[in-house]
Structures are given as structure tokens and as C-alpha cells.
Structure 1
Amino acid sequence: MQPADDLIGRIRAYNPHTDADLIARAYDFGKEMHDGQFRHSGEPYFTHPIAVAMLLADQRLDDATIVTALLHDTVEDTRASYARVAEEFGTEIAELVDGVTKLTQLQLSSSETKQAENFRKLFMATSRDIRVVLVKLADRLHNMRTIKAMKPEKQVQKSRETMDIFAPLAGRMGMQSIREELEDMAFHVLNPEARTSVIRRFVSLQKETGDVMERIVGDIELEMKKLGIEAEVHGRAKKPYSIWRKMQTKQLSFSRLSDIYGFRVITKDEGECYRALGAIHQRWRAVPGRFKDYISQPKSNGYRSLHTTVSGRNARRVEVQIRTRAMHEVAETGVAATWSYRDGERVENPFAVDPFEWMSQLTERFQDEGDHEDFLEAVKLEMYQDQVFCFTPKGDVIKLPRGATPLDFAYAVHTRIGNQTVSAKVDGIRVPLWTRLKNGQSVEVITAEGQRPQVTWVDIAATGRAKAAIRRSLREEDRERFIKLGRELVRTAFDAIDKQATNKALRMAATNLGAADADEILARVGSSDLLARDVVASVYPDLSPTEGKEVEPRRAVIGVEANQSAQRAPCCQPVPGERIVGITDKGRGVVVHAIDCENLALYEDQPHRWVDLHWQEGRHPLNNTVSVDVTISNDAGVLGRICTLIGEQSANISDLRFVDRKPDFYRLILDIDLRDLEHFLAVMTVLEADSNVAEVGRHRDPSRLAAETGAAV
């Protein structure tokens, strides 16, 4: 076990005025309280608080935070009390220790609604002093570093909690290095095969290219010297999870990733940042659309930097980040920079944002929100967001998360404008409401009196604010419609277990689910806020769920009138499990489209033809065809193995078309018969994992809407 002198020495390196006596007393107190306690690994328990304190000392934090780290488990796990800690170390430290204790006691990996409530409590508690979160993040970081000592099921639980909550929380607070390490360690537990695959491919790439990082660093340093720019240049390979996430989100194979390596140029002032950018763009060709100026438009967590991607050596794309030393400190430590010391003095970093502001705004916004799931969704969106900046026609800047749409823009301006939106123009051109906005675009929202939000808007919107406003308006304006649809969904769910959805049963469900009356239950089901099977379970909890019940093809879709037929749209090929909407068509009944189908834009001005639809719950037959675009290496036996992989997933290939034939690869379209979305994702996973598959993705052809009449559901 490390002596207190080691910790005090590390603190004195950045804060010579530290209260060594306070640190030593806290060290001795914690050691005494934890005496006789051991970790899962067999080590004395107090090694953990020491490690947490060391991590925070590396962040150059103040004495109160370091002492809190040493004592953070004493009130929860030992005979020490809040009063005793306050008496020995003062009220400030006692409050911090109490805050960490309360966070530790929250069961953040419980069910979704409980998780939302715990998230709410977490933000309420930490908004008073953000240092509580800093200690908790360091605590989680050390626990993840030593996670192998835990039981396998506990490792999975802690890793999922880390991936869902603590890693994005660290990122939202600007602590990128901690976020990356937390993500990668959780990734190691949750998907070890994928992580090993990424590392194996990365090692193979290094063998092919040699020490390319060192050469590129040298190239950049040379360009800086030519212009007399004083700068530090560093190169690094991205973490396995970061590479894996990019492969998934961009649907790219490892070989097609452009920015596996990242480089940082740290200059002495802001002006030199732009000079360095010019030097790099003069030396290498910039990749269009990959430049971001976070210096003139900082992220809300204080992050500032210039990002550019260029074609470097051997035409390999590399990402370069350019920032000053002060910007770099905020980029690495985030809100921790607010308490950090330099040369023995607390320094005010001009780029560190007020860490309390974000927490306070978030808690105030949702303090009175009764819907726990809305709150949880909004919190996750806030934490995961990367931002874009768009302009109103008058030139005002609207800040939105990446992936936001004109609908989000409208609601960000005003809820009334969002509710009355009928269409939008981006840079003067009319676009569908689900268009993803980009940095610097000018957005004009077109409204009309009498317009009301539609059900499909919930899936189009990306921000918590817009989704909450849409749902609220839908509940108010379309209550009767939702009750009607909900009644049909509930009736079908009760029929699946040979029961009737009587008024008495619905009143019982309302009581058990905490609703005011039966109509509220039906309205929530109709608006997708509550599942019909949950209503059934609240009345008949002992009956088996309906997921395994076979669905009759003629009853696959709910929401179609008795005299209408339903047909899957050939353009988007929706499958059970996806959000859907219907478009009435003379002679064809109702054509079922996926909610993100491009062809829905054709009916934007015909709201009377739109029909709310849901897939029937249960096991669907193998008659939902999906087209998949696959690029494979041109080697013996590869195509046969791909077909075998699909067959092993109990799927059927109904058609195969070659699109392109090259000496080294084939590109083809496979029509695969599937049950539902889960079945489709299983097939895609095995294809993506095959080393001879260069690229795979869903193939949709908007032109097929007019050319075909659609396949019956």
C-alpha cells in the first residue's frame, strides 16, 4: 500500500501550498476505517481510495476533492458517520463525501423507468457541486481497471452501466481521455470478440505501413518549422472502441476507415492555430466536408479546437486537431480544469465553461416533467450530442445536436413554431422535414395556422425538447384518435391470451399502472408511450408473453380498416420491429412504409392519406423480403460461404443479382426472406464479421414505388 507521502508528493508537484496535514489526516482516517476490509482481488480495500485520489491528483484538483476521494466509501462501508467526517474535516468535505455516497447507492442499471428516476436524482444531487461527479468518475475508472476480479455477471452489469451512463457523462463534461478509457474497458467486457478483431486488424495494418505515425509527426513538425510556428505535435492511434463505433455508425469495413490515426498540433496562441491550419492545407490536400472550427463555434462543454482531415502519406487520410495549450487542457480534463492548479496557484482557464450551468439547466428543464422515459431520453441526447450551428433567416444562431432536423430547429426557436411547421427550406431549397442539418446552413421554417404535430414527427425529431413537445401536443390534440388506436392494440393483445379487454380489466390496469382512468391507458398505448403487452401483464401477470405466438400474415399490421388490405412498400421494404406508417392508395389498400422512407416526401402535402400503423406483436412468418448490398472478395468459395452464413441464421435467399464484377471483388444484391428486424440484424452481424465481406448495407430503391404494386403483407 502506498504511503501518504507518495500522494502528498504528487499533489505538491502542482500545488506547493497544499495542506499536507489535512491530506495525511484523511489518509490515516480512511486507512483506519477500512482496516480489515478487502477487495474482490484480495488486496486491502484502502488501496482503492488511494488509487482514486491519485487519479484526481493527476487531474491537478484541489485538496477538498482529493480528501473526498480518500474518504468516499467511509460513510457507506465503515462505522464512520457524516457527523464524524464533518467534525474531523469540515462541512464542505462532509457534503462532498455524502454526495458521492448517494450516487453510489443509486441503482443506475435497473429497469428503464427506474433508471430514468435515478438519472433525475443523480443530476439533482450533482448540480450542487460537480466535484461529486469527478470523484465518482475516478472511482468508476479504477473499478473498471480492476474489473477482472469481479464475477462475470457483475462485470457485464458494471460495463453496461459504464457504457450507457458514466462514459458519456465524462464526455459531456469534456473529460475525453477518461471517456475513451471507460468505453474501451467496457467494450472489452461486453464485446471481446469485436475488440480483438479490431486490434488484430490494426496490428496487421501497422505491419503493412510501418511506423507511419512517427513519419507523419515528422512531416507536420517540418511544415511548422518552415513557417516559424512554435508547436508540439503528437500522434496517436484511436482506441478500439472508437474505431468499432465508427465502423458501425458509418457502416464501413476496417479497410475503408479514413482516420484510424489522429494527430494534435498544440500552439502558443489562437493566431498560430490558424497559421498551422494553413500550413497543413498547403502541404496536403484537405478532404471536403471534414473541416470543423470549434474555436469560433465552441462546444457547450468548453471544447475548442480546429479539426481537419487531409490525405497524408500514401493517400491515407489522417485527422489533425489544432489548439492552444489552454484549449488542450480543457479538451483533456473538461470541467476539472475549473479546479486545477498550475505553478502552485489556482488558474482561471479562459476556455473552461461553468460546470454548474449545464447541470442546472438540465435539471430545471425536466424537474416538473412527469414522464420518466422522456427525461431519460433527453438526458442521453444531451450527453451524447455533438453540435451543429444553423442560422435563422435573420442571422441568429441556433445550436443543435448533430443529426438534428428542421423540426428540431423549429422547436428550438419556439414551441408554437414547431407545432405549426408544415415544411422547411435549407439554404433556400425546400427539403423534407427529416433532412439532417449541417453546420452553417440557413433554415427557414414554413408554418400554417391549424397545423398540428403528427405521430411520425416523434421519430423525425432528434432533440429531447422537440420530442417532449411533440408528444405533449399529440396527447392533447389527438387524444381521441389515440384512444381508438389504443383500444384496438389492447384488444388484440388480450385476444392473444384468450382474454377480453373489458372495462373492468382496463380499470384494473389503470389502477395497477398508476393511470387516472382507462382512457389514459388507451391513449398512452395509442401514442406508443405504453406497450399493449404491459397492459395485459398488469392484469394477468402470470400468463406467458405474446412474443412467441405466431402471427397470421393477414393480421401482421394493426391500424388497417376491416375492408382494406395492407401491402409492404417495395421501395423501403419495412419489416416487423421497425416504426411504420401507412399511405392509402386506390386499388392497393394501404401501402406500409418504414418511417424513414424517402418516398414519404411525396405525400407530405396529403396528410389525409397517412394512417397510423403498428406491427402485431408475436412471431412473424418468414415472408418479409429485404434487399442487402454486399461487396465480397473475388476468391474461391466466398459466395458459397456467404449463402451458408445466411442459411445458418434460418433466413432464405430468394434472389441474387450481380451489380459489379471486378478482378478483386464482386458487388451483389441479395433478396433475403426474414421474420423481423431482430432477424435482419442477426444476418447483418454475421455478414459484417466475415473477413471476406468488404462492405454490407441495406439496399433500398425509391424508384420501385412506381414500378411495382408492392408485396402483400
Structure 2
Amino acid sequence: MRSLRRLSHAALLGQGPRRDGLPDAMEHVAKVHRAHHPDADLAALRRAYVLAESSHRGQMRKSGDPYITHPLAVTLLLAQLGAETTTLTASLLHDTVEDTDVTLDQVREEFGEEVSYLVDGVTKLEKVDYGAAAEPETFRKMLVATGNDVRVMSIKLADRLHNMRTLGVMRPEKQVRIAKVTRDVLIPLAERLGVQALKTELEDLVFAILHPEEHALARELIAEHAKEPDPLTGMATSVRRVLREAGIIAQVLIRPRHTVSVHRLRQKRGDLGPCDFGRLLIMVEEDADCYAVLGEVHTCFTPIVAEFKDFIAAPKFNLYQSLHTAIADEEGRVAEVLVRTRQMHRVAEAGVIALGDPHGVPSGGDGSDTEPGPGWLSRLLKWQSHATDTETFWTELRDELAQDREITVYCASPGAAPAPSGGALPLPAGATCVDAAYARYGEAAHRCIGARVNGRLTALSTVLRDGDALQLFLEPAASAPSGPSPEWLDHARTPAARIAIRHWLAAHPVAAEAEPKQELTSVGAPGSGGGHTRQAGDGGSRAVAPFSTAAPASPPDPADPGGRNSMGTGDSAGPSPDNGRATETASVVAEDPHAVVRLARCCTPVPPDSVTGFAVRGGAVTVHRESCQTVTRMASTGRRPVPVSWRQGAVGCRVTLRAEALGRPHLLADLTEIIAAQGAAVVAADVEPPREQRVLHTYTLQLPDAAGLPDLMRAMRRVPGVYDVTRASRPLPAR
């Protein structure tokens, strides 16, 4: 590609009319434009040039050039990148409404709605009206316009590049200010739109202003390298011969590194070798040819495996596609190699301008589609509408654009299993589950109480990776959401999440300053005489609800780990008064009809579980589920099991359930409400302190009918935040 700078200077030559009706000054624009669009109608360009030249006549740039040289240079830049006629027409007129007496209505009447929209999109807001907010609010306006038509930003990028080329006539402090905005906003936007030809030159110009010493050193290294024969020339010749012998038609070029690229490589590797100042670029016609080239160069040269990347199968989020590899020749010289088709090369250089659909922007997906505003742009457009003050918008915009990579996660609806085939959610690299929640649900993410990544429960602060399957848990919309905590701000990486969280915290200062607390008593079913429990907020200190407080009269028997004197879980089918204490009679029978039988606390069997018993101290028989670990241990020590069976007609039972959940306010209330609705009474409850936002609830329940246990467990699992409900099974003590 010829230098855009030389082409821009060429556009300044000549002002007289040509035989085809175009002024001489438009000669280079017309030639370059027709190279990309042979059938283009240049009548609109001629009329646009005439209006621009006449309206800017008498205006001079600080460089001393007539002002018309600026829109001409901007138009030539875009023509070189393959922009269509409407974009070039608007670029010729892009400063007329801002700097002359031409009105937007005049532009609309003469050139149509599209051209008018593009000109309006790049027209700056008046400082007289906006003061210091004029620049950031102008960018906000341009970004919103870009959401509808990406050509707005294409014109702005070309406009900024020409201004940066001529920035030397400005005061040093103004140069620095403009260079910083270009670095923080325009260069990242050029990267996201894939317009590398503009981005690389902008980077070099900014680098020269903000880091003059490092820039001078890099330029000196490039100049020193140019004095010696370039070893890449010989390697390119060898590659051409290999591909020719393989029957692959390809063009092999040496692509020099630009100044910033040399600087970055030097920072990464230290001293640079003679092959580090450029890369081999191999261009072919078809995608399959790219892989054929790769096979040949890896066969005939020594490949550096660690350097291989396939951006054809997995394009970058700005639609960049190429194969990257590195090879060493017989002399040990290593060259980086880029392999792409000619169409890939056009997209790599000109990005969205080369796509043919003027409204399309990179989707960040599989690289095959363009849509009006997915990925980074749609996120940006969403959060900027909530950033009502200019300072927040400006700060968050620069933070958003500082993210130089995108990932895609697959997010299922609440309660559904994540599926890689759908629910694709593009996010910036480094995003967490908090960011994903707000990106997917907006302000409804205030109700997010947990997440599962790739099937595993995880903290909301977890950083997501490309391809993760994500499931988010939300509180019911009908309940008053507890809302985000201030700590969420530490985990939020995206502006959308940070702005939404700040708004909520500002609107709920009391909730933000204190942990929510609740007090619950008499949580058994109404009229059940159930036990009492007290909770200082789910996720607070451990709260145990005692049911029986008598101490054991003798050391516990291993076969009776949950005997009648244990605290917090009675073992029988139902309590009956006995000297003021709770005693039980189990609904099972043993061989000896006179034996006292009770249910083991460790596994809490209920009908119709398969059960077995063991004799314990005092002649009693403790009943366990056959799958209980105690049964295995007792059998291994030679203890003889006692045959037991469920009593005919016994329906009621007592059982201990463990509910594993993501900690949130009102969880205990919601669970006990569901338990009561199923007709069960809470005998005791135990809430453990949270660990990594997870909490364990243990309930001892009295059920009127054992057959209702499966339905009860299913109902408990449906409570938001609960991810598992199991029958309690206590681990055995070590031998």
C-alpha cells in the first residue's frame, strides 16, 4: 500500500476544472476511488467539493494552507481505504456545518439524509454552550451516531489522522492534550473497528509527542537496521521458491514494523536481531491456500511452535484474520510470518470500511457477520445513557476502551443449564460474573445472588474466560431485592456494571452502610409446636436451634452417633412427654419386641429407606440407612446387625435435610416458608457462616407423611439461591 501521507499531499495539487467535470484537486481522489469502485458516480463528489471549496474559501489552517486542503486530505485517506461514495461526499463536507455558514438543512436538501447524518455525527458541539464538557459530549454524540452508522467514526478517525500529521504548528501543551485523547479514545476505537492503516500511523504520531526520547531511539534503531542488508530478503526468496515448487500461487512481501511496534518488541525481547524489524507477509486467494502455505513452510523450515496462532478459525473481535507463525532457516535466523488471503488483508488494513456494508460493525463473534451495534459498541451505547454526568462518561469511556481484548461467554437464563449453542455474551477480557450479570440483565442484576461457571458454583468476583458456560442466579422479582453490596464495585470491570452499582448504592445509603439483618422465631409449621431458631442474617454468625438439652450419661456409642441425648435433632417419629424431656418411639420394629428402637441422627432414615439396626448400650437398637457409613464401619469391626423393618401403617417421620445455597438476605425465611407450605414442621435449624458466599442450612423436620419427602426436597431446591438439598449424612470421626 502506498503511503497515505504521500497520497494526502498529492490531493493538494491543482484547483482547475477537468474535462470530466471534476476539479484538478479531485484527480487523486477520483483515481483512488475508482480503483476500488470502478462504476462509482462522481457527480455527488464534484458537487460536494464545489460547496466545500466555496464555503471554506478564505479560511486558512494554522499551517498556512488553505482550509480546503484538510477535507481533501481526509477524503483521500478514506478513498485509499476503499470507502464508498457517500462516505467520501460526507468527508468533503464534514467541517462545513461546524466552520462555515452552511446549515445541516442545506446539506440534507442537496445531498440527502445519509450524507446529512454523517456530517451531523462528526460536527463538534459548541464550547460556548458546553464549556469544558464540549469535547467529551462531542465524543458521546459521535459514538451514539456510530451506533446507527459506523461511517461516522470512520470519518472522525481520518479527520484526526490528518490533524495529527499537522499538529506540529500547535503549542506543545495543546499537542500533548490532543495526543492523549487520541491515545485514550481514537486509537482504541480504530483498533475495534479494525482500521489498522489509520491506527498504526496514529500510534506513531502520538508516540512521538508523548514519548519523544523512546520514539527517537526506536527511529534510530530502524535507521541503523536500514544501513545493512535485510536477511528477510533472502528468507522471502526461499519461501517464494518453496511455494512455487509446491504449486501454490502466493505473493510474499516483507512488511516492515512501524515505530511503536519496534519499541514494543524491544521492551519484550531486549536487543533486537536483524530479522526483528519486519515480518514476512504471504497473501493467497482462498482460505484453504492459507493452510497449504502453512504446511509447506512448516515442512521446509523449522517452525517455532509457540508462535503459531490461528486467527482464521478464530478471528479477533475486530474481524482480523491471519495465520501467525515463525520459522527458522538453515542459518538459524527466525522470521515471523503472516499468512492471509487478499480479502483478509483488505479487512486487516481497512476494517469495517472494507466490509462493503457501510452500517456494519464487528460482531466479536465468529467473524462471519456484521450487525448494527453488537459487542463492545452495544455495551458502550447502553451504559453511556446512564452516565448522566460528563465526568463519569469520560472516565468510564477511557476505561472501557483500555480493554484491548474481548471474550465470549455463554450465559443461560436463571435456573436453566448453560448451553454453548446459545446465549453468547461478549465481554471485555477481565470481566467478572458481576459484569456478566449487568451485561445480560441490566438493573435486574441487582437481584443477582450467585453464579455457576462451567458447572461449578463460584463467587461473583470470579474472572471469566473465553468460552465459559455461565449460569446466574437471581432473587425473585416479586421480593424486594437486597441489592448489590459496595464490594461489588471492587469486582466490576465494565462501566455498565460500575454505573448501575453506584446508582443503586446512592439510592440506598442505609443498605450500603449496614449488613441486612433479620430475626425469625417459631419457624415450625403453624400449630405444629415446632422448635425455635434465631438468625442474625444469612451469612452472619452460626445460629443453632436447640431441641433437647440433656447431656449424655455415658460416652457415645459409634453405632449411636445421634442418640436420644444429642442436641438439636430428635430421632423418633414423634415427640411425647416424658418427665419434662422429649422422648421418642420409632416407627420401626426389631426382632425383640421389647427393645427400644430409635432412628440414627447421622443418616435420618425414613420410610421406605432400606434400613438395618445395631444394638447399643442399654439394650436399645439404633436404626441406620443401609448406605450409611456407620453400617460399613460397624460391620468391619464385627458388630452384628439387628434386623429391623418399618412398622405397618407408619407414615409420619422425622428427617434432617441439608440445603446448600448462595448466601443472601431472606433465604432462611424463604426456605422455612416453603417447608411450612409442604406441611412439615421445623424441629431445629442450623445456619453455618458463609464461605465464599456459600451457606449451609441444616433443618430437622417433622413430616406428617414420609411419602411427601421427595416433593419437599424438590420445593426447597426451587428456592432462589439453593443449588442442592440432600439428606443429612454426618462424617464419621477418625479412628
TM-score tier after normalising by the smaller chain length? 0.5 to 0.7
> Structure 1, residues 305-343: CA drift from partner, whole Å, max 9, x if none?
3333455676565443322222222111111124489xx
* CA distance in structure 2 between the partners assigned to 1:290 and 1:399 by the alignment: 26
1:157 aligned residue (155, 177, 182): 177
* CA distance in structure 1 between the partners assigned to 2:242 and 2:446 by the alignment: 49
Contact 2:321/2:344, CA 8 A, preserved across alignment? yes
Equivalent residue number for residue 281 of structure 1: 298
Confirm or deny that 1:2 pairs with 2:20: no
2:157 aligned residue (129, 137, 143): 137
Instruction: Describe the shift of the 1:372–1:311 C-alpha distance in structure 2 as closer, same or farther (beyond 3 A).
Output: farther
Contact 2:58/2:66, CA 8 A, preserved across alignment? yes
> Which residues of 2 match residues 416-431 of structure 1 at below 5 A?
none
1:101 aligned residue (113, 123, 145): 123
> Which residues of 2 match residues 148-297 of structure 1 at below 5 A?
148-204=168-224, 210-245=229-264, 253-255=270-272, 261-287=278-304, 290-297=307-314
Equivalent residue number for residue 71 of structure 1: 93
> Which residues of 2 match residues 105-120 of structure 1 at below 5 A?
117-120=137-140
Matched to 1:368, the amino acid is: H
Shift of 1:179: 0.7
Shift of 1:91: 4.1
Equivalent residue number for residue 321 of structure 1: 338
Contact 1:247/1:257, CA 8 A, preserved across alignment? no
* CA distance in structure 2 between the partners assigned to 1:227 and 1:461 by the alignment: 53
Matched to 2:429, the amino acid is: R
2:381 aligned residue (363, 383, 388): 363
For residue 127 of structure 1, give the secondary structure of its aligned residue in structure 2.
Answer: helix
Equivalent residue number for residue 89 of structure 1: 111
Instruction: Describe the shift of the 1:474–1:161 C-alpha distance in structure 2 as closer, same or farther (beyond 3 A).
Output: same
Contact 1:108/1:115, CA 8 A, preserved across alignment? no
Shift of 1:386: 1.7
Greater shift in the superposed pair: 13-22 or 390-399: 390-399
Max Rg structure: 2
Contact 1:310/1:317, CA 8 A, preserved across alignment? yes
For residue 13 of structure 1, give the secondary structure of its aligned residue in structure 2.
Answer: helix
* CA distance in structure 2 between the partners assigned to 1:607 and 1:159 by the alignment: 45
Instruction: Describe the shift of the 1:324–1:218 C-alpha distance in structure 2 as closer, same or farther (beyond 3 A).
Output: same
Matched to 2:428, the amino acid is: P
> Structure 1, residues 482-502: CA drift from partner, whole Å, max 9, x if none?
599xxxxxxxxxxxxxxxxxx
For residue 48 of structure 1, give the secondary structure of its aligned residue in structure 2.
Answer: helix
Contact 1:269/1:324, CA 8 A, preserved across alignment? yes
For residue 235 of structure 1, give the secondary structure of its aligned residue in structure 2.
Answer: strand
Equivalent residue number for residue 661 of structure 2: none
* CA distance in structure 2 between the partners assigned to 1:292 and 1:437 by the alignment: 22
For residue 266 of structure 1, give the secondary structure of its aligned residue in structure 2.
Answer: strand
Contact 2:70/2:162, CA 8 A, preserved across alignment? yes
Contact 2:287/2:341, CA 8 A, preserved across alignment? yes
Matched to 1:143, the amino acid is: N
For residue 251 of structure 2, give the secondary structure of its aligned residue in structure 1.
Answer: strand
Shift of 1:211: 0.2
Shift of 1:268: 1.4
For residue 230 of structure 1, give the secondary structure of its aligned residue in structure 2.
Answer: coil
Equivalent residue number for residue 13 of structure 1: 35
> Structure 1, residues 446-491: CA drift from partner, whole Å, max 9, x if none?
989999866565455443445445556665777556599xxxxxxx
Equivalent residue number for residue 660 of structure 1: none
For residue 60 of structure 2, give the secondary structure of its aligned residue in structure 1.
Answer: coil
1:62 aligned residue (81, 84, 99): 84
> Structure 1, residues 138-173: CA drift from partner, whole Å, max 9, x if none?
222111122222232322222222212222212111
Greater shift in the superposed pair: 15-24 or 159-168: 15-24
2:429 aligned residue (402, 408, 419): 402
Contact 1:420/1:448, CA 8 A, preserved across alignment? yes
* TM norm structure 2: 0.55
Instruction: Describe the shift of the 1:459–1:290 C-alpha distance in structure 2 as closer, same or farther (beyond 3 A).
Output: farther
* CA distance in structure 1 between the partners assigned to 2:291 and 2:482 by the alignment: 47
* CA distance in structure 2 between the partners assigned to 1:408 and 1:257 by the alignment: 45
Instruction: Describe the shift of the 1:265–1:418 C-alpha distance in structure 2 as closer, same or farther (beyond 3 A).
Output: farther
For residue 370 of structure 2, give the secondary structure of its aligned residue in structure 1.
Answer: coil
Shift of 1:178: 0.4
Shift of 1:357: 4.8
* CA distance in structure 2 between the partners assigned to 1:302 and 1:166 by the alignment: 18
* CA distance in structure 2 between the partners assigned to 1:387 and 1:61 by the alignment: 26
Equivalent residue number for residue 351 of structure 2: 334
Shift of 1:181: 0.6
The answer for unaligned runs of 5 or more in structure 2 is 1-12, 16-22, 359-366, 412-417, 476-480, 516-689, 695-735
Matched to 2:295, the amino acid is: G
* CA distance in structure 2 between the partners assigned to 1:360 and 1:389 by the alignment: 14
* CA distance in structure 1 between the partners assigned to 2:332 and 2:508 by the alignment: 56
* CA distance in structure 1 between the partners assigned to 2:185 and 2:129 by the alignment: 8
Shift of 1:225: 2.8
Confirm or deny that 1:304 pairs with 2:321: yes
> Structure 1, residues 652-687: CA drift from partner, whole Å, max 9, x if none?
xxxxxxxxxxxxxxxxxxxxxxxxxxxxxxxxxxxx
For residue 124 of structure 2, give the secondary structure of its aligned residue in structure 1.
Answer: helix
Matched to 1:225, the amino acid is: R
Instruction: Describe the shift of the 1:47–1:412 C-alpha distance in structure 2 as closer, same or farther (beyond 3 A).
Output: closer
> Which residues of 2 match residues 288-687 of structure 1 at below 5 A?
290-310=307-327, 318-339=335-356, 353-354=370-371, 356-357=373-374, 359=377, 362-370=380-388, 375-376=393-394, 379-380=397-398, 383=401, 384-389=403-408, 394-395=419-420, 399-404=426-431, 408=435, 442=468, 458-468=489-499, 471=502, 479=510, 482=513, 605=691
Instruction: Describe the shift of the 1:279–1:155 C-alpha distance in structure 2 as closer, same or farther (beyond 3 A).
Output: same
Equivalent residue number for residue 347 of structure 1: none
Shift of 1:422: 7.3
* CA distance in structure 2 between the partners assigned to 1:133 and 1:48 by the alignment: 17
Shift of 1:363: 1.8
For residue 263 of structure 1, give the secondary structure of its aligned residue in structure 2.
Answer: strand
Measured on the aligned residues, the alpha-carbon RMSD in Å equals 4.4
* CA distance in structure 1 between the partners assigned to 2:260 and 2:207 by the alignment: 6
Greater shift in the superposed pair: 402-411 or 62-71: 402-411
Equivalent residue number for residue 584 of structure 1: none
The answer for unaligned runs of 5 or more in structure 1 is 342-349, 485-603, 609-713
Shift of 1:241: 2.0
Instruction: Describe the shift of the 1:255–1:151 C-alpha distance in structure 2 as closer, same or farther (beyond 3 A).
Output: same
